Structure 1
Amino acid sequence: MSSIELKNLVKKYGDGFPAVNDISLDIADGEFMILVGPSGCGKSTLLRMVVGLEDITSGELDINGKRVNDLAPRDRNLAMVFQNYALYPHLTVFENIAFPLRLAKGKHSDNEIKQKVNDAADMLELREHLERKPANLSGGQRQRVAMGRAIVREADAFLFDEPLSNLDAKLRGQMRTEIARMQRRLGVTTLYVTHDQTEAMTLGDRVAVLKKGVLQQCASPRELYEQPVNLFVAGFIGSPPMNFLPARVEGNTLKLPIADVELSGELAEKVKGKNAVIVGLRPEHIKDASLGDNISHGVPFKAVVDVTEWLGNEQYAYIPFDSDPSLQGTLEELDRDLDGEGMRTQMVVNLDSRSRVREGQEADLVFDPSFMHVFDPESGDCLTRDDDRAAEIARDNEEQRKAALERARTRESNAAAQSAEPRQAS
């Protein structure tokens, strides 16, 4: 296992454009770190810089405290799992998994290779497929073979480059669980690139959000969701995404297209002097008032529903609203940054499945203003971010990570002791 430290890493190509721009990250021993962002944000380039497939223009990369900028990929002892699996079609599953062991000529005996491959195959439920060729496997099985090859190397860290993007939705869910279980069981430091925020939120101990080669925020999934630092992070994290509503500032009142919200205290001071701000509301924080759910100090409003989508356990309602020309440019630029298809002036509401609201009806809705995020339209900064609460979430997340890692190591130690007992008895 190992720690990985990125210090002000920069990657510039021939035209001088910084694909990766001054990124610093400290990845702890045994941590599962996710790199996430829209297409072209530099996440795969950064991963390839770590493994040694891309040169580092400037900055320093340390593994276990040792500078590795100039080391060849084979000398960094990192195992990479590629998007296209990179399996050898003429070799069996066994030989594909064993390949890195055979590459280290003379280091492992045939018995050791067989033992390591069989152990990895058992972990990944591949034992019955060891004599098959990759062409005869499903996409999920091929992904397991690629993971098995990484496991037997006993590398200092695993690097995954969008490993599940070629799988269908059901298989992606299954493989997410397997990768999480494997990472905890082995306790191996893992750096994982994805554009899928579901993978990022469910797998990562921490998630680094990138935009145009620049690190926006690195935090636990919960902190990113509850305490985003800016508009971009708030818009990228969450499904359905956060609603962004223009709001005029009139004294201590925010005039949203759907309702007026009275401000007090620190937030009232922060918006003083601004003509307008952008208000973020998560879809699940807007409720159907007719269901009788009591929201203390809630802001009620009525709105005509344009479209509804009922999914069994929940229901989405889409509500148009009037845009503000002075803020529309900011919102359209944000949408382009998020790979959107064009900013629609509509709000998404995640209603309880009990709701009987249907398209064309006027709905009685309510939201808790304490869940509201307020953003400066010029800088994009989140004015409602609570640094103390963010620090508390970070501490709790780190404690949980270490506890989960310790539980996994204890289980692994107990399993190894149990497997050794029969051999001793014989």
Structure 2
Amino acid sequence: MASITLNSIVKKYDDGFPAVNNVSLDIADGEFVILVGPSGCGKSTLLRMIVGLEDITSGELLIDGQRMNEAAPKDRNLAMVFQNYALYPHLTVYENIAFPLRLAKEKNGNGQSNGNGEGSVDDRVQKAAAMLELTEHLDRKPANLSGGQRQRVAMGRAIVREADAFLFDEPLSNLDAKLRGQMRSEIARLQRRLGITSVYVTHDQTEAMTLGDRVAVLKKGLLQQVASPRELYEQPVNLFVAGFIGSPSMNFLPATLKEGSQGAGGTGGAGGAILSSPIGDIPISAEKAAVAQGRELVMIGLRPEYFEDASLVDEAKMARGSVFTAELSHLEWLGHEQYGYIEFEPDERVGRLLSDLASEMDADELRPQVVTTLSAESRVRPGEPAELWVDASRIHIFDPETGENLTRDPEAGAELTRIAAQEREHEIELAAASARSPQNTQNTQDSRSV
């Protein structure tokens, strides 16, 4: 295992375009870090520079404290798992896993290239196969395996190398939704069990939020924020991170501050204030009003789960927000919850801001609408006025020009990341205890068929 340090890394191509621009990142020994962002943000380029497949224009790459800028890929002792598996179709599962050992002419204690002793090629292949539940498939060819099984073979090939770190380049992109979910669990379990430093590239925020100890969000080669998934979600540093993390995305609405009015329901309180928005007036605390003071326009951010059918909100919770009346354009019922959509007409300036944000996130055009997550018990209907409640205490306020989150609490965010680190340590301890237990039956028959 090893730590990985990136100091002011820059990658410029011949035309001068900076694919990666001044990225600094410290990855601790045993940490699982996710690089996420839209297409063209530089995440795969950054990963390829770590492994040595791309030259570094400027900056410094350290692996376990040793400068590796000029080192060949084979000298970095890193194992990479590719999106397309990169398996040899004419070789069996066994030989695919054993390939890097054969290539390196791995020798056991007797100085022979093969055998059955501790540390031999066969021993390491069998252990990796057992760990990944591939033992019964060792004599099969890749063409006869499922997508999930092929990806586990690729992971087995990385494991037997006993590398200092694993690098994953969108490894689940070729799998269907169900297999992706199962393989996410497999990768998380394996990383915790091995305790190996891992860097994982994805454009899928679900993978980023469920796998990573920390997530690094990139945009156009620039590092936007590095934090635990919970901190990214609850304390985003800017409009881009807030909009990119979360599904459905955070709602962005233009708003103006009405000074000197009381917050309805006590959220603003005496001396509090009201934000006027397309969905109505929203009371805010004096602290949040202060950051909007003197600004002609702000953008407010409201996640879909901040909303609810007002008739289903209890009195204790009701005091944290306000009720407004809106007409839903349509509903999407998902069984355990439903999404309600409220459309609004933005002015030209706001429409341009939404269009620019959608372009940065490599997303479809952000429609001028609000997505609300409502209880499955709600009986609101599209096309009819509905009373909805919004939790104003959780509102984010952004500068529409710079994108900065004006209401971000760095201390609260740091505490979320600290708690996440403690939970990670606990998970590693549990994984280690499970691996030592002879009664370990964690892996199920269902996962063997993935």
Q: What interval of TM-score do these two structures reach, taking the shorter chain for normalisation?
A: over 0.9
1:16-415 equivalences under 5 Å are 16-108=16-108, 109-111=114-116, 112-251=120-259, 252-294=273-315, 295-415=318-438
Cα displacement (A) at 1:262:
3.4
CA distance in 1, matches of 2:201, 2:245: 15
> Aligned residue for 2:270?
none
What CA deviation, in whole Å up to 9, does each residue of 1:72-129 have, x standing for no partner?
0011000000000000111110000000111111534332111111111111111111
Cα displacement (A) at 1:339:
1.5
CA distance in 2, matches of 1:174, 1:40: 28
| Greater shift in the superposed pair: 222-231 or 117-126 | 117-126
Cα displacement (A) at 1:278:
0.4
Secondary structure (helix, strand or coil) at the match of 1:202 reads helix
Cα displacement (A) at 1:263:
3.6
CA distance in 2, matches of 1:228, 1:194: 19
CA distance in 2, matches of 1:416, 1:43: 40
- AA matched with 2:150: R
| Greater shift in the superposed pair: 390-399 or 368-377 | 390-399
What CA deviation, in whole Å up to 9, does each residue of 1:108-166 have, x standing for no partner?
43321111111111111111111111111111111010000001111100000000000
- AA matched with 1:281: L
Question: Structure 2 vs 1, CA of residues 106 and 245 (structure 1 numbering), >3 Å: closer, same or farther?
Answer: closer
Q: How many pairs does the alignment contain? A: 417
CA distance in 2, matches of 1:395, 1:264: 27
Question: Structure 2 vs 1, CA of residues 14 and 29 (structure 1 numbering), >3 Å: closer, same or farther?
Answer: same
Secondary structure (helix, strand or coil) at the match of 1:110 reads coil
- Asked if the contact 1:187–1:408 (Cα under 8 Å) also holds between the matched residues in 2, the reply is no
> Aligned-residue CA RMSD in angstroms?
1.5
> Aligned residue for 1:422?
none
> Aligned residue for 1:15?
15
- Asked if the contact 1:259–1:300 (Cα under 8 Å) also holds between the matched residues in 2, the reply is no
Cα displacement (A) at 1:267:
2.1
CA distance in 1, matches of 2:422, 2:313: 38
Question: Structure 2 vs 1, CA of residues 400 and 213 (structure 1 numbering), >3 Å: closer, same or farther?
Answer: same
CA distance in 2, matches of 1:324, 1:219: 34
- AA matched with 1:170: K
Cα displacement (A) at 1:327:
2.2
Secondary structure (helix, strand or coil) at the match of 1:53 reads coil
CA distance in 2, matches of 1:305, 1:90: 57
CA distance in 2, matches of 1:292, 1:413: 48
Any unmatched runs of 5+ in structure 1? 418-426
Secondary structure (helix, strand or coil) at the match of 1:95 reads helix
Cα displacement (A) at 1:393:
0.9
Any unmatched runs of 5+ in structure 2? 109-113, 260-272, 441-450
Cα displacement (A) at 1:180:
0.4
Taking structure 2 as the reference length, what is the TM-score of the superposition?
Answer: 0.90
- Asked if the contact 2:310–2:388 (Cα under 8 Å) also holds between the matched residues in 1, the reply is yes
CA distance in 2, matches of 1:293, 1:324: 35
Secondary structure (helix, strand or coil) at the match of 2:148 reads helix
> Aligned residue for 2:267?
none
Secondary structure (helix, strand or coil) at the match of 1:102 reads helix
- Asked if the contact 1:240–1:348 (Cα under 8 Å) also holds between the matched residues in 2, the reply is yes
CA distance in 1, matches of 2:342, 2:222: 34
Cα displacement (A) at 1:391:
1.4
Cα displacement (A) at 1:268:
1.9
Question: Structure 2 vs 1, CA of residues 246 and 354 (structure 1 numbering), >3 Å: closer, same or farther?
Answer: same
- AA matched with 1:307: H
Secondary structure (helix, strand or coil) at the match of 1:374 reads strand
- Asked if the contact 1:259–1:299 (Cα under 8 Å) also holds between the matched residues in 2, the reply is no
CA distance in 2, matches of 1:324, 1:281: 19
- Asked if the contact 2:256–2:296 (Cα under 8 Å) also holds between the matched residues in 1, the reply is yes
- AA matched with 1:378: E
CA distance in 2, matches of 1:333, 1:110: 61
CA distance in 2, matches of 1:367, 1:262: 10
